[in-house]
Structure 1
Amino acid sequence: MSVGDHDDIRVLLDDWAQALRDKNADAIISCHSATVRTFSLAPPLEAIGNDRAGLQAWLDTWEGGLEYDIRNTDLRVGGDIAWCSALAWLAGRKIGKEKSGFWFRLTVTFAREDGRWKIAHTHESVPFAMDGQPLALFDLKP
């Protein structure tokens, strides 16, 4: 791993987070590989590629900007592949609703494509109560 790779990936991750805060679908997609595989909190179970219309439709369900913060990152780079595990904070006001926010787990995989780092995969998850009721736990904090 070169220090430059680590720095380049960190800039990409920061740019991606800022694009989410700004609700800028084009800027979000510019951080992605054309074949990005996404396991998001919302359905479907998986998505492959960039669905600009679907992404914009989701962004448009929020009033104003979003709060999006990535913390506790563990970035590892090896050759043309890298990955980062982290905790992420998402908050905002859905149209017609009160402001809300929650922490979730985030894993991002990066691939060097044509000499530039791109996000090749994202995986978001929240823990579930394991006491017989399959309920997502949105009130946990780091």
Structure 2
Amino acid sequence: MMADSDRQIRELLKTRTRALGRRDAATAAADYDDDLVLYDVVGPFVRCGEDPTGRLERWIALYRTGIGHEIRDLEITAGADLAFCHFLVRISGTMRDGTEVGMWVRATSCLRRQGGAWTIVHEHASVPFDADTGHAVLRGEL
């Protein structure tokens, strides 16, 4: 069962990655739970009860291109009905104003299985900061 859960969760994340590349917010948001709590890199600090499709549509609209979403170092721990995973994700693309984006983000997703399907109930994305300057660290060697 755990191997099947691992496979299902990896596929869920791959589906989201492909959807962002196609600028398809509905598919990218499809596996979010109705009770999603989101600690996003972009403010506010906490998002609850917000339509995740609308949030992704607004984010995708800022890009001229599809959004690159490369997952690295994915680790999944799954039980019967709860799972969590953590990974690094590289966000890339060209924004409407011509700005080239290429940054690494740390991410953790918590999932719940209901009716045989996994949904994301909590997601946390963050970037480290330089303690000397207080500035976010978005690029560099991993």
Cα drift, residue 25 of structure 1: 1.3
1:80 and 2:78 matched: no
Aligned positions of 1:1-142 closer than 5 A: 1-51=1-51, 52-131=53-132, 133-142=133-142
Tell me how far 1:32 sits from its aligned partner.
Answer: 0.8
Bigger proportion of residues as strand: 1
Bigger shift: 43-52 or 23-32? 43-52
Question: Across the two proteins, how many residue pairs are aligned to each other?
Answer: 141
8 Å CA contact retained: 2:60, 2:66: no
The answer to whether the 8 Å contact 2:2/2:79 transfers is: no
> Do the aligned residues in 1 keep the contact of 2:89 with 2:104 (CA within 8 Å)?
yes
Question: 3-state DSSP class of the match of 1:130?
Answer: coil
Gaps of 5+ in 1: none
**How many percent identity over aligned positions?**
27
* Whole-angstrom CA distance in 1 between matches of 2:75 and 2:92: 22
TM-score w.r.t. the length of structure 1 is 0.92
Deviations 1:85-124 (A, max 9, x none): 1110000111112322111111111110222111111111
Q: CA deviation at 1:50?
A: 4.5
When the two structures are superposed, what TM-score results if normalisation uses the length of structure 2? Answer: 0.92
One-letter amino acid matched to 1:26? A
Q: Could you list the runs of 5+ residues in structure 2 that have no partner in the other structure? A: none
SS at 1:120 equivalent: strand
Provide the C-alpha distance between the structure 2 equivalents of 1:59 and 1:78, rounded to a whole number of angstroms.
33
User: Which portions of structure 1, spanning 4 or more consecutive aligned residues, are displaced by more than 3 angstroms?
Assistant: none
Aligned CA RMSD, in angstroms, stands at 1.4
